[in-house]
Amino acid sequence: MTIINVDNKDYEIKNNYKNILEICLSFGIDIPYFCWHPILGSVGSCRQCIIKRYNNRDDTIGHLIISCMTKVKNYDFISTKDKESLNCRSKIIELIMINHPHDCPVCEEGGQCHLQDMTVMLKHNSRRYNFYKRTHKNQYLGPFINHEMNRCITCYRCIRFYKDYAGGKDLGVFGSSNNIYFGRLMNGKLENEFSGNLIEICPTGVFTDKQYSMHYARKWDLQYAPSICNGCSCGCNINIGERYGKIRKIENRYNSKINNYFLCDRGRFGYGYINSVNRNRIPYINNNPIKSIDLAIDYSADMLNTANRIIGIGSPRASIESNFALCTLVGKKNFSNGIEKNELECLQLILDVLYKGALPSSSIIDIQYHDIIIILGEDITQVSARIALSVRQAAKRCSFNIAKKYKISEWDINSVNNISNGYKNPIYIFTTNKTILDDIAYEKIICTKKEITKLGFAIASFIDHKSPKINFKSFNNKNKKILLKFLNNLRCSKRPLIISGCSLKYSLILKSAYNISRAFKFLEKKGSIILNSNESNSIGVTMLGGKSLNWAINKLITNKADAVIILENNIYRRMKSSSVYNALKNKKIILIDYQRNITFDNANVILPAATIAEGNGTLINYEGRAQRFFKVYEPSYYRTGDLTKESWRWLHALNIAKKNCKLEWIHLNDVIKVCSKYNPIFRNILKLSQFKIKLSRLPHRFSGRTALNANIQIHEKKSPKDIDSKFTFSTEGYNCSEIAFAWYPGWNSPQAWNKFQNEVGGNLYAGNPGIMLINNCNKKNELAYYNNNIKYEKNKIWQIIPIYHLIGSEEHSVSIKKPYIMISKHDINLLKLIPGSKIKAIINNLELNIIIKSTNNMRNGIIGLPCGIKGIPVESFGMCFNFIIKK
């Protein structure tokens, strides 16, 4: 235990590896700072955190120190309030502000600006410098981020995040002395998948949110709710900000196990679908808008009562509650979870591994502490980006271990980087195409999915002879060498990690990944496994059970079912369009969705579903962690006649109308209670909603509340009530437990998080929201090794692989990319094609007008097609087809 005396008060410290700034902030003592960041460490460039240290209790003179660059020692005597350090800090802020444009009233950072907060904290309020300010030109940085370089205070946080932490290559620092420029070499979109974090990293308004700018409202004028990103299966925590029934921005919500301080750009900017003017906000019957819930429900119930057999198609993007409500309505034997069969096979396997696997699933933050990682078949940055950011940190982690030997603290990031000389932990990547993480790969192999599988099985069998064997002779020399290298590295490793997933929809890859994890256990390594699922609730809906989408389509095509309820699922994106079209032809269709998709025009009844911003519900991420998202606003409060409801409410209403029984589910928890009887694993979700006090959705300074609806009625409209959560639609209530927005007196920027953590960078006071449904440590009947039964096609035909993009490959974002086909250079020459030209090609009997792209990073005989882009036949992914070019 270390004792530190700050401003004449003794504090006990458990973590004496932290610097004095971090320690003081953890005790709630405000010291101004700019360049330090809990994750990026200290570089001592801004000097704003200067305080005074005394040699002992009797020392009355002391000396100034940079608190972020100073280790704590036992019986340290510190003053943050003595005259000399106060004076020094006020001179520093004056210097920092010399070139700053002082444009707070028109700056979008105003009201959430760390520079503003620190300037106020330091009481700097008058300007003595009367000369010209240094000015810069701004750059176009793409659709997400605005650039206003004159506001820069040269703290270097942006570059330390973008380049050093996130691996970005296209943001740099140019110039010298007091003329430093942070930008790109030339105008252009920031390429890194985490560029949006610059908005929160930059302590002033240099990088601001361009999307937010298009419908801007001050931070304190937004209504917030804690939510979960539904962009992928990571389950990153977010706060959604709304005003006038429109989502204005998404902020990172700190979770020490998942996203920590950072989100990917899909999660931060991918909310346009919620605001879409195309959304259906009232029911439709046979394409006619209906203004009555009762009418829509009665009509639907009558329609269902005349059907011979109703099936339900659920969704991996809908909440557990909504999927369960559908399952209850149609019955277990008629419920499909809406997932294509190959993907479902992968998900069922993932669930088996979660329940009974040899090693635990790693949380995103824990990934960083593994010392060797092998990735099989995934371009993880494009499918679950936050995992990839942690893999990047794992590669760099050995720097910290080297530094530790020299007693260099982790926060002393420049020393850490210098001493480690860029040495990285080994990352092995075996994929079908190049990946964003290739720059940190120690070794990579580009091959077919079957070869990846073989390599996986081979590794497992090398480690543990009980694992099914693979003929080593069939590998080429290069691959043999890489495998041997991996085994060598593994010998020195303490914590290996294997990552694979559903991207290629090939369960054998997952089986080989599992075998590797089991072999790690055989070596008695404290390893982990991540088997990634693609969508926000893929694991949740698989836990519920249900049959594949193929089963449902088959039942409809063969007329074994004549009515179908489709829940939040654009099934055209999952299966061959013509099969889906034939399946839905002349059927009774009820569609419950918030997106206007292709099924919309053919449905008999359309019921407007709430998005993640308009409803409460539960999602389960890739590791089996259940998390609640909360309604940000009540749609009918702003739009009279808006009949948007959570899907489970529509489905339950339909169920009771159909069966002519009494309403049973009023609260969200009523659904989960019944669901827990169905599968006890869900029982713990109830713990997520226990609350005694109310928390506010509106910041205390929210303005114009009484006038929000003044254009409709001058009397203030009664605030709606949220019967399912602890959050009020008002400023009443506390705001410091499950945080709807990061704000604390004097701390208006995202730096306010330090006021809600046990220690800076540690857990939140009330613990992380969410609950693990599967106990990783208590596994009975451990899964045995999977058999290697890879089948090979005899004829040489083309194999189609999906290429994922962060924006455009999932259902909520629209890609501006044109359909393209990626072929190896060798095959392009063989087929006499010209890269960049457009061709007509036939794949699986489907004619495509498509642009040719050439690559050095794909095996011959493989065709890459972008996943999620309109016009691309999804059913072809992972299959082998003839590829015919039409002249």
Residues making contact with ligand SF4 (CB under 6 A): 152-158, 182, 201-204, 206, 229, 231-232, 234-236, 259, 263-264, 266-267, 384-386
Nearer to ligand SF4, 144 or 335 (CB): 144
685 binds, among ligand SF4, ligand FES, none (CB under 5 to 8 A by kind): none
Query: At closest approach, how far in Å is the CB of 90 from ligand FES?
Result: 15
36 binds, among ligand FES, ligand SF4, none (CB under 5 to 8 A by kind): ligand FES
231 binds, among ligand FES, ligand SF4, none (CB under 5 to 8 A by kind): ligand SF4
Nearer to ligand FES, 66 or 166 (CB): 66
Nearer to ligand FES, 90 or 604 (CB): 90
How many CB atoms neighbour CB 13 within 10 A? 18
Which residues is 798 bridged to in the sheet?
881
Query: At closest approach, how far in Å is the CB of 507 from ligand SF4?
Result: 23
Instruction: Please check whether residue 591 is in contact with residue 605, taking contact to mean a CB–CB distance below 8 angstroms.
Output: yes
Residues 6+ apart with CB under 8 A from 122: 32, 89, 90, 93
351 binds, among ligand SF4, ligand FES, none (CB under 5 to 8 A by kind): none
CA distances from 419 to 68, 72, 165, 440, 582 (A): 19, 21, 17, 19, 64
SS3 labels along 763-788: CECCCCCCEECCCCCCCCCCCCCCCC
Residue nearest to ligand SF4 (CB): 267
Query: At closest approach, how far in Å is the CB of 40 from ligand FES?
Result: 11
Residues 6+ apart with CB under 8 A from 756: 254, 736, 739, 742, 744, 764, 765
263 binds, among ligand SF4, ligand FES, none (CB under 5 to 8 A by kind): ligand SF4
State whether residue 558 is helix, strand or coil: coil
Give me the DSSP letters along 612-681: TTT--EEEE-TTSEEEEE--S--HHHHSTT---B-HHHHHHHHHHHHHT------SHHHHHHHHHHH-GG
Binding site for ligand FES (CB under 6 A): 33-36, 42, 44-49, 66, 68
165 binds, among ligand SF4, ligand FES, none (CB under 5 to 8 A by kind): none
190 binds, among ligand SF4, ligand FES, none (CB under 5 to 8 A by kind): none
788 binds, among ligand FES, ligand SF4, none (CB under 5 to 8 A by kind): none
Nearer to ligand FES, 42 or 737 (CB): 42
Query: At closest approach, how far in Å is the CB of 233 from ligand SF4?
Result: 7
Nearer to ligand SF4, 201 or 675 (CB): 201
- Say if strands 563-567 and 588-593 run parallel, antiparallel, or are unpaired: parallel
Nearer to ligand SF4, 193 or 321 (CB): 193
66 binds, among ligand FES, ligand SF4, none (CB under 5 to 8 A by kind): ligand FES
Instruction: Please check whether residue 195 is in contact with residue 144, taking contact to mean a CB–CB distance below 8 angstroms.
Output: yes
Query: At closest approach, how far in Å is the CB of 418 from ligand FES?
Result: 18
Nearer to ligand SF4, 78 or 502 (CB): 502
Query: At closest approach, how far in Å is the CB of 42 from ligand FES?
Result: 6
Nearer to ligand FES, 202 or 385 (CB): 202
267 binds, among ligand SF4, ligand FES, none (CB under 5 to 8 A by kind): ligand SF4
CA distances from 751 to 89, 200, 757 (A): 19, 9, 11
Query: At closest approach, how far in Å is the CB of 92 from ligand FES?
Result: 9
Query: At closest approach, how far in Å is the CB of 154 from ligand FES?
Result: 11
385 binds, among ligand FES, ligand SF4, none (CB under 5 to 8 A by kind): ligand SF4
Query: At closest approach, how far in Å is the CB of 150 from ligand FES?
Result: 21
Residues 6+ apart with CB under 8 A from 609: 318, 322, 567, 568, 592, 593, 594, 615, 644, 645, 646, 647, 650
Name the residue among 651, 649, 756 with its Cα closest to residue 226.
756
Query: At closest approach, how far in Å is the CB of 125 from ligand SF4?
Result: 21
Nearer to ligand SF4, 228 or 416 (CB): 228
Give me the DSSP letters along 308-370: S-EEEE--TTS-HHHHHHHHHHH-GGGEE-S--HHHHHHHHHHHHHHHH-SSPBPPHHHHTT-
153 binds, among ligand FES, ligand SF4, none (CB under 5 to 8 A by kind): ligand SF4
Nearer to ligand SF4, 26 or 237 (CB): 237
Which residues is 496 bridged to in the sheet?
372
Query: At closest approach, how far in Å is the CB of 614 from ligand SF4?
Result: 18
138-143 — which CB contacts under 8 Å span 24+ positions?
A: 139/183, 139/184, 139/186, 139/187, 140/187, 140/188, 141/183, 141/184, 141/187, 141/188, 141/189, 141/190, 141/195, 141/207, 142/188, 142/189, 142/190, 142/195, 142/210, 143/189, 143/210, 143/211
Nearer to ligand FES, 68 or 591 (CB): 68
Nearer to ligand FES, 49 or 803 (CB): 49
Query: At closest approach, how far in Å is the CB of 252 from ligand SF4?
Result: 8
Token pair 């993932």 is at which residue? Answer: 350
Amino acid at 766: A
Query: At closest approach, how far in Å is the CB of 235 from ligand SF4?
Result: 6
Nearer to ligand SF4, 414 or 676 (CB): 414
Query: At closest approach, how far in Å is the CB of 305 from ligand SF4?
Result: 40
State whether residue 502 is helix, strand or coil: coil
Nearer to ligand SF4, 623 or 722 (CB): 623
229 binds, among ligand SF4, ligand FES, none (CB under 5 to 8 A by kind): ligand SF4
Task: Pull the structure tokens for residue 348.
Answer: 């069922």
Instruction: Quote the CA–CA distance of 623 and 198 in Å, as a whole number.
Output: 28
Give me the DSSP letters along 635-647: HHHHSTT---B-H
The secondary structure of the chain in percent helix, strand, coil, rounded to multiples of 5, reads: 35, 20, 45
44 binds, among ligand FES, ligand SF4, none (CB under 5 to 8 A by kind): ligand FES
